[in-house]
Structure 1
Amino acid sequence: MTIRNLVIKLTSGAEAAERTAQAFTVAAVAASSGARVSLWLTGESSWFALPGRAEEFELPHSAPLPDLLEAILANGTVTLCTQCAARREITEPMLRPGVRIAGAQVFASEILQDGTQALVY
């Protein structure tokens, strides 16, 4: 079986709770199913890169965001957009363990790999 790559770019946060939960759910399920998953936090989702922020998120009938995030981190990568971090004055030492900051060059290299599917939420 070929391992597939899945890159998900999430632009929403708590203001679009269903879209946000969908992105985390798809990423966690794919990662748990053996896909190489890379979740990119951009825009308002940037805040989920900080400790405690996923724990504040609630959506009825949705898996808890901290559990989904931990599943993604255990089996894939979570990246905070460089420009989004700078606009929010988020720095590396402030990040939840396992989250990295990277920019467009890294994003482009990930989505241009053969066998990669990209989703934007």
Structure 2
Amino acid sequence: MARPLVIKVTAGADAPERCNQAFTVAAAAAASGVPVSLWLTGESAWFSLPGRAAEFSLPHATPLNDLLDVILSAGRVTLCTQCAARRDIGPDDVLPGIRIAGAPTFVEEITADDVQALVY
């Protein structure tokens, strides 16, 4: 079994290439059978809301909503508690399958045995 991958994406439309790279790596890993946990923080928090990923566009890149669908179907997506609160996003606002959790949960995930953590 491949070692789990935890990816924290801090960028959104403000840094589209960095944002898309995080989603692309997470989706590729999930599609390959790697256990993936994607954390939406900072400006990427907006992609937890219905329709927001579909609004994102980057030339020559797989649509963000398609990447998010792959990750949600084969991995886990978490929205940062503080990032959600700062944007007035609550549990009833997010896409099905996205949870809201904070730093203790993130630390637990990244300190588990054989985990690889990436931050974009």
Give the TM-score range, shorter chain.
over 0.9
Look up the match of 1:109. Answer: 108
Percent same amino acid at aligned positions?
66
Paired residues for 1:66-105 under 5 Å: 66-105=65-104
Gap regions ≥5 residues in structure 2 = none
> Partner of 2:117: helix, strand, or coil?
strand
Could you list the runs of 5+ residues in structure 1 that have no partner in the other structure?
A: none
Q: Which amino acid aligns with 2:6?
A: V
Q: Deviations over 1:87-107 (max 9, x none)?
A: 111000000111110001110
Task: Figure out how many residues of one structure are paired with residues of the other and give that number.
Answer: 120
CA deviations over 1:1-30 (Å, ceiling 9, x no partner): x22100000000001000000000000000
TM-score with structure 2 length normalisation? 0.98
Cα offsets for 1:10-55 (capped at 9, x unmatched): 0000010000000000000000111110000000000000000000
Q: TM-score, normalised by structure 1?
A: 0.98
Where does residue 27 of structure 1 map in the other structure?
26
Matched residue, 1:4: 3
